[in-house]
Amino acid sequence: MNGFFSSAARLTLFVLRRERVTTFIWIAVLLLFACMSMALEAQTPDELQNLLLARQNPIRVALQGPIYGVEDFQAGHLFASQLQLFKLVAAAIMNIFLVMRHTRGDEEKGRYEVIRSLPVGRLAMPHAAMIVALCVNGLLAISQGLLLWALGVGGIDMMGAFTYGAMLGATGLFFAALAAFFAQLSHSARDATSYAFLFLVGSYLVRAVGDQASETLSLISPFGLVMRAEVFVQNRWWPIFTLLVLALIICILAYTLNARRDMEQGLLPQRRGKAYASPFLCSPAGLAWCLNRNTLISWAVGMFAFGAALGGLLGEAEVFGESDAFRMMMPQSPDFSATELFTMLINVILIIICIAPALILLFKHLGEEKEQRTEQILSGAVSRRNYLAGYVTISFIASVVMPLLTTLGLWLVGSFMMEIPITFGRMFLAIMVYVPALWVVIGLGVLIIGLLPKAAILCWAYFAYLFVVGFFGDLLNVPQWATRLSPIGFIPRLPLDEVHVITLLILTAVAACLTTSGFIFYRRRDIMA
């Protein structure tokens, strides 16, 4: 048995080195959202009671789970009911990607075969991935616990803070083991990842139905099970230990299947391909569409769901509008309701998040280049301009589709939560004015592809800057010149500001110049070897 795990310790260090940046970003974002949520919490008992009444409705329970601690409702209980479920989902997604990258992903790209040619055990690589997942989730649990304890919010004691962190870590480990299991079933990383995400979505839906109709049904879902810890109220640990035991069983099953299957094979039968190629493959743009349509569709569904989740907050906007934190983050106006002003804040969050799928789809071009597939395509009768244009076009399409679907989800749920709903046309216009700013960021990404392809991390660093300035700018009193470094700072915030068409046209022209420059530099530079 020891031979199966030979050199696992060295591979663990290797995987940790590869994951150090990605892990830091994931954990930092989750910590940032915890601080963001605390900044918006109401402080007075009357405000908390009003929020409690607003949250006790079927839509809210289905979206964010049951509410505990009703008898003595405090800010900590509000925090748990507001972001707990979404952070559990985020931890699950982080672990699915982590394990898939170092199991089926490396196996599909041929790296696993190179590693296995060395004196390495058959289960060393998946074991190293699981050890790294254990370390990452342990760090996530500890950092979340320390942060919540240090904030000193009412209703959050040391036991509750670390119970909350343990819930995130246990959920992450469960889905890491689940990803390792699904990696044995499919022949490709894409299918294995799809299976894992289908299980995640199914678990969320089962939990949503169970929280309304059946406690037993909720316990079947890992999300429903771990939320029965009743964090900050009862702080029960048996759901956490149960989830860890299930993760261990699934992990052992994944190891057993990995030891028995052939390399680069899956246990499920592979689907037969089409007899004839799709007509889309006759052009570079069609090829880019075929390679990225699943990613585009997945992000579209996710952004619609995210908008729907935020739509549930619109019913509480009047209570949020009375808090000091809200007044610091948003300008006040007697001409508009707190719901309309709160929608302005949500639009900034949504449009910044909509940048992520656009950049991911754009930088898939660099992924193809790094995997040396671009060179093979360009060796034929394909121009560089047309090849890059396919990915750029999909990115610009995403820049319009994502805000549209997000606003649709926000409006559909928000219209049920608000006493006087905002019309879809007003919501749609309020977020679509940000699209030229989004185009500027995409243009910057195209320029980086053409000029500095190895410096794509700079674009993601700028994305993080946009998030901090866009959301916390007013709260942190960011100077005007720092706000103007973001194209979002030039966009009017409807309905408070007036739309200046000249400003939007200038931003569109800047985006066009950046995109054109990227194409020019791309035609002149060497393809990465």
- Residues near 134 by beta carbon (within 8 Å), at least 6 away in sequence: 173
What is the rounded CA–CA span in Å between residue 372 and residue 377?
9
Six-digit token string for 76: 């900590």
Query: If you ran DSSP here, which 8-state letter would residue 47 be given?
Result: H
CA torsion, points 126, 129, 133, 135, in degrees to nearest 10?
120
Residue 164: name the closest of 76, 95, 56, 245 by CA: 76
- Residues near 460 by beta carbon (within 8 Å), at least 6 away in sequence: 359
In 269-363, beta strands by DSSP E:
none
Q: Coil, strand, or helix at residue 420?
A: coil
Q: Which residue has the tokens 């982080």?
A: 94
Q: Which amino acid, one-letter code, is at 367? A: G
Query: If you ran DSSP here, which 8-state letter would residue 485 be given?
Result: T
Q: Where are the alpha helices (DSSP H) in 70-123?
A: 75-100, 106-108, 111-116
How many other C-beta atoms can be found within 10 angstroms of the C-beta atom of residue 505? 11
pLDDT of residue 374: 83
What is the rounded CA–CA span in Å between residue 124 and residue 7?
6
What is the rounded CA–CA span in Å between residue 298 and residue 281?
21
pLDDT of residue 411: 85
What is the rounded CA–CA span in Å between residue 74 and residue 207?
25
How many other C-beta atoms can be found within 10 angstroms of the C-beta atom of residue 124? 23
In angstroms and rounded to an integer, the radius of gyration of the C-alpha atoms of the chain is: 24
Per-residue pLDDT of the chain (529 residues; tens, 9 = 90+): 557 777 788 888 888 888 888 888 888 878 877 776 665 554 555 555 555 555 555 556 666 677 766 566 666 666 666 677 878 888 998 999 899 988 888 787 777 778 777 888 788 888 889 999 999 999 999 998 888 887 776 667 788 888 888 999 999 999 999 999 998 888 777 788 888 888 888 888 888 778 777 788 888 899 989 988 888 778 888 999 999 999 999 999 999 988 887 776 666 666 776 777 677 677 888 888 888 887 888 888 888 887 887 776 676 655 555 555 555 555 555 566 666 777 777 788 888 888 988 998 999 888 888 878 888 888 888 888 888 999 999 999 999 999 999 889 888 877 777 667 778 888 888 888 989 999 999 999 999 999 988 888 888 888 878 877 776 666 556 677 777 788 888 888 776 777 788 989 999 999 999 999 999 999 888 887 6
Q: Are 511 and 442 in contact (CB under 8 A)?
A: yes
